[in-house]
Amino acid sequence: MNTFSLIRTRWSNEKVMTAVFGVLAMYLLPSWIRQPESIPAFLAVVAAALLTDSVLNLIRYRCPVCGVSAAVTAGVFYILTPGTALWVRIAGVAAALLAGKHLWGGTGKNPINPALAGVLAIGLVLPMNAPDFTPQLSMLPALLLSIPFIRFRPYAAAGFMAGMAAAMVFRQNFGFDSYLEYGAIFWGCLVLTDPVTVSPRPVLGAAGGAFTGAVSMLLSGSTVVMAGSILIFNVICFIADRYLELPSGNMRRGKPVDGVIARNSEVLFFDLSQSKEEIRQGAEEKAAVPEFSSQEILQRLERNGVVGMGGAAFPTAEKIRSVMRAREEKKYFIINAVECDPGLIHDGWLMDRCMEEICAGIKLMQQCVAFEVVVMAVKETKTIKACNVNVAKVPDYYPAGAEKELIRLVLGRELSVGDIPAEKGILVLNVQTVFAIFEAVVRNKRALTKFITVADMNTKTAYVVKTKLGADIRAVADKLPLTPGNIFAGGGAMQCGNVYANDVVDKHVNFIAVSRFPGYKESVLCSRCGFCDKNCPMGLGVSRISQFVEQGKLEKAKKYRPESCLQCGNCSRVCLAGRNLAARVRAAKAG
């Protein structure tokens, strides 16, 4: 089943570029108020850019493509070429788009900023006035609104501003007016944060930005110098990103993802398993745990078909045997109760209702293996009933519950890509698996049912459902009070796929959802924002991997270690081009 994140960013490249264009318009607003006759000239330059871009895109893609980035190019170009004849501006912006963008392969593939290339070309052959950076309060809104764009290339933007500040110190020219005068904030935030032409690398970005800022400030008043220095920086970034060392691939801390369920919504439980036993609400009796030998426990687990309930569905007895065989002196047992996927609620529900059984399952594991440390890992936001095991609170982010990430958080041990935790003496079991261990060993019950979360993402409600393995997913959804819509199923809200006829609840399914289809528009325009790389918890070069997969170059994609991918879906969630990048990385992994 092809999976993807049901949660998507509301932003897209087109929206970002529209926002940039809005900021440019805000910047020009004071001059339009003073000289309304300049508005038609601006509109003519923008129209010329849109026309040029549309025609070239139509030739390239054979379908209409949003041209708002061309409007931004026109805006930057217009501001930086004051006092130039209109026909020169129109011809200049068209030539800039052709030579600075489309000759390189179109949007997202150009190594240099097309507007600045056009400015430099005109500045070298024609006399050109310096742009108007006269300090005035009416310019403040545009400056303030430009600040959020720093997020795209923070190191380059910060370097640019630091370079300008250093130059001001050198020139003994202080005061807030000078910042405005030289447009430091504005150009630092807009041009030096262009993800297409500026590298995301911290050192290169900061150093290059500082150089560009210092040169621009020291030779103030010359647009040509500023454009030239930024273009040199663009070329260095292009070469560095193409040829320098790849990202390290170390695990990074993830980021919180908003839950899909309204926080105050009541959680209802539905038992669709047709089992006669009822889930005890607030069990008071202690679950009796007779003494079992290791062999008895493992035999019962195998006989009753207990597998990992977190989604991997690996045979639990086999995993325990690996831990027993491990030559490590100290052995560890981590009960994974983190439930980091933003769509899941059933593990928390189970802990609230069946902690006695879970604790009994933990005791059984302790009878089986002499663990040095036993820890139950829960989110820092979760409070659990007292149980006779240590509790480790982990930060609330996604994917804190990924096996190796959890080991790092709880034990402080970094395992490399090829390492299997069980072979290192570390047993990590999902909390529902521990519950299933209790049922299989003490009650001698086959693991034919499981608890899952069924969510209605249209109404932000969710239910905990106990269902039989093998149950038809559509039939399960039909039995619940859900709004009509598409049905998705998978490991969680971040790893879901379309449900087709005859799809059943198997050991990998933890989550069923009714939702609108997430907005994967699969745009041809990647802006190289790098959010996919930044949000990958494994630090993979997702953008490069997906690029090579699309080109059919799987061998090259393999160099970026797609086998380390956790399939968490974070890259798909944040992609501004609306691409399902996780599926591309999976293709590289399988290829």
Partner 1 sequence: MIKIDKDFYENGQVLFIGYSGGKNRPFSKMVYQAFTNNGIKVYALNNKAEGDYDIKVYGSLGELAEVPTTAYVLLKKENVPGILKELGARGIKRIQFQSSRSADASVLEACAQKGIETAVACPLMKFGSGLHRLHGFFAGVR
Read off the DSSP letter of residue 244: S
Under the binding rule (CB under 8 A), the answer on residue 591 touching partner 1 is no
Out of 524, 553, 554, 559, the only residue in the binding site for partner 1 (CB under 8 A) is: 524
CB of 517 to partner 1, least distance (A): 4
Rule CB under 8 A: is residue 10 a binding residue for partner 1? no
Site string for partner 1, 443-482 (x = CB under 8 A): ----------------------------------------
The nearer residue to partner 1, 5 or 304, going by C-beta atoms, is 5
Residue with smaller CB distance to partner 1, 443 or 521? 521
Tell me which of 517, 551, 552, 563 binds partner 1, using CB under 8 A: 517
Residues shown for the chain? 591
What is the nearest approach in angstroms of partner 1 to the Cβ of residue 497? 8
> Considering beta carbons, is residue 280 or 516 the nearer one to partner 1?
516
For the chain, how far is it from start to end, CA to CA, in angstroms?
A: 16
Q: How far is the CB of 66 from partner 1 (least distance, A)?
A: 11
484 is a contact residue toward partner 1 (CB under 8 A): yes
Q: Does 264 bind partner 1 (CB under 8 A)?
A: no
Nearest to partner 1 of 66, 426 (CB atom)? 66
CB of 591 to partner 1, least distance (A): 14
Q: How far is the CB of 270 from partner 1 (least distance, A)?
A: 23
Q: Which is nearer to partner 1, 229 or 527 (CB)?
A: 527
Return the residue of 30, 154, 305, 497 that touches partner 1, per CB under 8 A. Answer: 497
Q: Which of 10, 34, 62, 327 binds partner 1 (CB under 8 A)?
A: 62
Can residue 590 be called a binding residue for partner 1 (CB under 8 A)? Answer: no
Q: Which residues contact 34 (CB under 8 A, 6 or more apart)?
A: none
* Residue from 223, 198, 195, 222 nearest 209 by CA: 198
**Positions of E strands within 435-485:** 449-456, 461-468
Q: Rounded CA gap, 418 and 169, in Å?
A: 52
Q: CB count, 10 Å around CB of 256?
A: 12
- Judged by beta carbon, residue 292 or residue 520, the one nearer partner 1 is 520
Residue 486 in contact with partner 1, rule: CB under 8 A? yes
Q: Which two tokens stand for residue 224?
A: 């040509």
CA distances from 225 to 24, 123, 173, 177 (A): 21, 9, 20, 21
Residue 412 burial (10 A CB sphere; 0-12, 13-18, 19+) = exposed
| 174 lies in the binding site for partner 1 (CB under 8 A) | no
Asked if residue 61 binds partner 1 (CB under 8 A), the reply is: yes
Least distance (Å) between residue 584 CB and partner 1: 7
Residue 523, interface with partner 1 (CB under 8 A)? yes
Listed residue (26, 33, 40) closest to 144, CA to CA: 26
Helix (H, G, I), strand (E, B) or coil at 426: strand
- 584 belongs to the binding site for partner 1 (CB under 8 A): yes
When the beta carbons of 227 and 568 are compared against partner 1, the nearer one is 568
Query: In this structure, what DSSP letter does residue 577 have?
Result: T
Q: Least distance (Å) from partner 1 to the CB of residue 1?
A: 8
- Residue 106 CB, nearest approach to partner 1 (Å): 13
Is 295 among the residues that bind partner 1 (CB under 8 A)? Answer: no
Comparison of 231 and 566: residue with beta carbon closer to partner 1: 566
Near partner 1 by CB under 8 A: residue from 10, 34, 59, 63: 63
Binding residue (CB under 8 A) for partner 1 from 136, 516, 555, 563: 516
Using CA atoms, how far apart are residues 15 and 527, in angstroms rounded to an integer? 12
Q: DSSP for 320-383?
A: HHHHHH---SS-EEEEEE---STT--HHHHHHHHHHHHHHHHHHHHHHHS--SEEEEEEETT--
- What does the alpha-carbon distance between residue 160 and residue 566 come to, in Å, rounded to a whole number? 36
By the rule CB under 8 A, 551 interacts with partner 1: no
In the sheet with 268-271, reading across from the earlier edge strand, the strands are 268-271, 461-468, 449-456, 511-515, 486-492, 495-498
Q: Which of 223, 570, 580, 588 binds partner 1 (CB under 8 A)?
A: 580
The residue within the footprint of partner 1, chosen from 396, 507, 520, 547 (CB under 8 A), is 520
What sign does the dihedral 387-393-397-401 (CA atoms) show?
negative
Tell me the CA distances in angstroms from 138 to 173, 351, 489, one per residue in order. Answer: 23, 58, 52
**Rounded distance between C-alpha atoms, residue 109 and residue 105, angstroms:** 6
Give one DSSP letter per residue of 45-96, joined into a string: HHHHHHHHHHHHHHHHHSS----HHHHHHHHHHHHHSTT--HHHHHHHHHHH
Q: DSSP readout, 500-562? A: -TT-B--TT--EEEEEPPP-----S------HHHHH-TT---HHHHHHHHHTT-HHHHHTT-G
Does position 521 bind partner 1 by CB under 8 A? yes
The residue range among 168-176, 263-271, 429-437, 578-586 that interacts with partner 1, by the rule CB under 8 A, is: 578-586
Residue 583 binds to partner 1 (criterion: CB under 8 A): yes
Query: What is the three-class DSSP state of 125?
Result: helix
Among 135, 259, 485, 591, binds partner 1 (CB under 8 A): 485
Q: Does 522 bind partner 1 (CB under 8 A)?
A: yes
Total number of residues that touch partner 1 (CB under 8 A): 25
Interface residues with partner 1 (CB under 8 A) are: 2, 4, 61-63, 484-486, 497-498, 500-502, 516-517, 519-524, 580, 583-584, 587
